[in-house]
Amino acid sequence: MAPGTASLALRTPPYFCQTDHRQRCLAQLRSKVSGLEKYIYLNGLKERDFIIFYELVLANVLELIPILYTPTVGDACSNYSHIWRHSEGLYISIEHKGHIRDVLRAWPAGQLARIAVVTDGSRILGLGDLGANGLPIAIGKLDLYIVGAGVRPSTTVPICLDLGTNTQKFIDDPLYLGLRRKRPDTEEMDAFMQEFIDSMKEIFPHLLVQFEDFSTDNAFRYLDLFRTKYCVFNDDVGAVVLSGFINAAKLSSQAAGTPLHDQRILFFGAGSAGIGVAKQLMSFFTVLGLSEEEAKNRIYTVDSKGLITADRKGLQAHKTYFARTDYTGPPLTSLIDIIRFVKPTALLGLSTIRNAFTEEVVRLMAKMNKRPIIFPLSNPVALCEVDFADAVQWTNGSVIFASGSPYKSVEFKGKTYEPGQGNNMYIFPGLGLGTILSKAKHVTDSMVERASIALSDSLTREEKEAQLVYPRLGRIRDISVEIAFAVIRAAQKDGVDGNTLFRNLSDDVLFDTIKSKQWMPIDRRSSVL
Ligand SMILES: NC(=O)C1=CN([C@@H]2O[C@H](COP(=O)(O)OP(=O)(O)OC[C@H]3O[C@@H](n4cnc5c(N)ncnc54)[C@H](OP(=O)(O)O)[C@@H]3O)[C@@H](O)[C@H]2O)C=CC1
Ligand SMILES: CC(=O)C(=O)O
Ligand SMILES: [Mg+2]
């Protein structure tokens, strides 16, 4: 379905001009009161005129990304069956089993497709199992690839796997878009996923697949199962936190006068995100010369039962690696007690528990550290572990802060404090662009790690002086070029690059080549299909 741009010319007066219409669209958008209304308006605009849509988003990144992505996309997902207007993206249901190939073949982009974001809706942000309502998260992520990295719209494929839902209120909802059934058992789901991946390989041989918001067990399992068989990654277990942490650790070590590696990190939340991020942070220590064992010892994890220790009965597989052996005693369940035991320099929240970092917790962190690192990373904002203004006030301005969803700057005692946004949206657009351009066969660990380091190195002098830990989002296109560059070089080093021509390019030429490949919203042939 190409947007109806041809008919627009017939119905508009002769003095109609694009520039005016952009302003008109922006005014219409801003007249909407709620985030959800703005989301609905923007998605309608994308359908009517995708060029104006992307022009507006590119020109107003800070204002519009929080609508298309977290936090508002969370509302859009929760209410998707009710706000649904037109088909967008691809649903593949468990009832398609046996002929998934045929469903994929129907996607109009065919061989042009380069990147798919695939969710099964089972853990959308921190909102739980939303079933078929999860599609907007895939659409929102792909909009970020387009806006943030310059991936061509027509090459993107948003996919929601409809395997039912275990959330009864959706099954009971007469407007629910998806299948009214419970999710399948592991055996049935594995068989479905195997056919899905085999079919994707056949129909879209040049595709990069991003798994998104699968529930924790499946996030790890399907990544392990498929990552060497197809070009697959999962950005929820990804690298963005490492980038911000490197910059935060520099600031906190400098203030404390301690060596950079002298960090103890407490993860509050040990799901796919908590454990995935913890594994990424290992490299922070190992590049500084610590052994794997020493690096692991710097990391503590907490779940709903408290500090994760190796002697706990029935510990889930993904929690065993970081389980502590140096604590014996009654389970440590209160966060305050855990902080007193661990004495962390950094507290990272991936728990989905709103306000879990209470005033007492934050003040204790500030008492123990000149510059405490506090990253409440759960999304959307309504599930964030602590609000920025509170963190600034309770630490008397000393906090080094990054949250999963955006916060505004705050004034405190006459000074302006700028929050960081530790969200994988900084990484995956550039990682995707680099993977697509290098025609990498797989996404290797070092491609992800180099992406993270490139992001951390991308701070400008002014951003460093402002003590930011992430660059300003308004520069996302340039940042994505830097990340894509690092990813391409890493793919070459690992020998997984299919585009061997890039190997002979000098750094400057490669850099310019990446820039020249970024799609701009002037080419109407690249319509959103
Ligand atoms: N900023 C970013 O870029 C990203 C942010 N996220 C966010 O991370 C969050 C978590 O995602 P994910 O790991 O997949 O989700 P999970 O539901 O798998 O994990 C949540 C974790 O928090 C723990 N937890 C729940 N309640 C408590 C509690 N009261 N006290 C302590 N721990 C608790 C759970 O414990 P138990 O294991 O015992 O159930 C579990 O370990 C989401 O909000 C998501 O939006 C995810 C990816 C990227
Ligand atoms: C940001 C993201 O991917 C998440 O919260 O799941
Ligand atoms: Mg996610």
pLDDT in tens, 346-363: 999 999 999 999 999 999
Identical fold for domains 1-68 and 427-516, yes or no, is no
408 is catalytic: no
pLDDT digits (tens, 9 = 90+) for 211-237: 999 999 999 999 999 998 899 999 888
Closest CA relative to residue 287, chosen from 138, 461, 450: 450
In whole angstroms, give the CA distance from residue 281 to residue 266: 11
Chain centre to alpha carbon of residue 476: 14
Looking at the DSSP assignment, which residues form a beta bridge with residue 329?
A: none
The stretch 452-461 carries a mean pLDDT of 97
Mean pLDDT, residues 113-138 taken together: 97
**Tens-digit pLDDT profile for residues 12-60:** 555 555 557 889 999 999 999 999 999 999 999 999 999 999 999 999 9
As for ligand 1, residues whose beta carbon falls within 6 Å of it are 123, 125-126, 216, 236, 240, 268-274, 302-305, 350-353, 377-379, 383, 404, 422-424
Considering only CA atoms, which residue is closest to atom 3 of ligand 2? 236
Kindly report the average pLDDT of the chain as a whole number.
94
Can 69 be counted among the known catalytic residues? yes
Confidence at residue 334, expressed as pLDDT on a 0 to 100 scale:
98
- Cβ-contact 286, 322 below 8 angstroms: no
Percent of the chain with pLDDT over 90: 91
Q: Which CATH number fits domain 240-424: 3.40.50.720, 3.30.930.10, 3.30.465.10, 3.55.40.20?
A: 3.40.50.720
Cα dihedral 504, 510, 514, 517 sign: negative
Q: Residue 4: which of 55, 52, 68, 65 has the closest Cα? A: 52
* Segment 293-327, tens digit of pLDDT: 999 999 999 999 999 999 999 999 999 999 999 99
Task: With a cut of 80, say whether residue 3 has pLDDT above it.
Answer: no
Mutate to test the pocket of ligand 1, among 117, 267, 304, 318 (most ligand atoms within 8 A of CB): 304
- The CATH number assigned to the domain with range 1-68 reads 1.20.1370.30
- Reported confidence tier of residue 328, pLDDT bands at 50, 70, 90: confident
The structural domains of the chain, with segments of one domain joined by +, span 1-68, 69-237, 240-424, 427-516
pLDDT of residue 108: 86
Q: Which residues pair with 211 in a beta bridge?
A: 118, 234
Q: Read off the pLDDT of each residue in 447-455 and give the average, rounded to a whole number.
A: 96
pLDDT (tens digit, 9 = 90+) per residue, 88-103?
Answer: 999 999 999 999 999 9
pLDDT digits (tens, 9 = 90+) for 53-82: 999 999 999 999 999 999 999 999 999 999
- Show contacts of 174-179: CB within 8 Å, 24+ apart: 175/81, 175/82, 176/81, 176/131, 176/132, 176/133, 177/80, 177/81, 177/84, 177/132, 177/133, 178/81, 178/91, 178/93, 178/121, 178/131, 178/132, 178/133, 179/93, 179/94, 179/95, 179/131, 179/132
Ligand closest to Cα of 213 equals: 3
In a 3-state reduction of DSSP, which class is residue 173?
coil
CATH architecture of 427-516: 3-Layer(aba) Sandwich (3.40)
Distance (Å, rounded) from C-alpha 370 to C-alpha 139? 41
Indicate if ipTM > 0.90.
Answer: yes
Amino acid (1-letter code) at residue 151: V
pLDDT given at position 110? 78
In this predicted model, what pLDDT tens digit does every residue of 389-433 receive, in sequence order?
999 999 999 999 999 999 999 999 999 999 999 999 999 999 999
Collapsed DSSP state (helix, strand, coil) of residue 281: helix
**Topology given in CATH for the domain delimited by 69-237:** Rossmann fold (3.40.50)
